[in-house]
């Protein structure tokens, strides 16, 4: 019961964080800035070599989630060397633009 309550509190906290992060990006600029992302995130069923895991498609993903993830990769809160390197050079506006572009692509199931 205690762990279930903790899980509910955690889920509510994550929802609050994701709603607090807004993506007010320029879709056209995001399309240009996201070209590097597509090398991994635009390949259907792509699996990374090391560490081995399925790379998620970003088409249709919630923009606020993408911004939040990029901020965490940039800060080191999420650990992945390639993503850290990619996110480290992005400004907040770059993140907003990229996120807006991917969200504009619609459902990830359609791509």
Inter-residue contact 102 to 110 (CB < 8 Å)? no
Taking the domain 23-110, which CATH number applies? 1.10.760.10
pLDDT digits (tens, 9 = 90+) for 23-59: 589 999 999 999 999 888 888 878 777 667 778 889 9
Of 93 and 17, which is predicted with more confidence? 93
Of 76 and 47, which is predicted with more confidence? 76
Extents of the domains making up the chain: 23-110
Mean pLDDT of the 2-13 span: 57
φ and ψ of 17, to 5 deg: -65, -45
For the chain, give the number of residues: 111
pTM of the model: 0.72
């Amino acid at each position: 019961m205690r762990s279930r309550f903790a899980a509910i509190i955690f889920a509510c906290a994550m929802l609050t964080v994701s709603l607090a992060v807004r993506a007010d990006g320029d879709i056209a600029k995001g399309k240009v800035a996201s070209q590097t992302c597509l090398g991994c995130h635009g390949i259907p069923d792509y699996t990374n070599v090391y560490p081995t895991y399925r790379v998620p498609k970003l088409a249709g993903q919630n923009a606020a989630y993408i911004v939040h993830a990029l901020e965490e990769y940039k800060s080191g809160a999420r650990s992945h060397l390639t993503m850290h390197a990619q996110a480290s050079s992005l400004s907040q506006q770059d993140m907003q633009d990229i996120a807006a572009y991917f969200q504009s692509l619609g459902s990830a199931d359609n791509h």
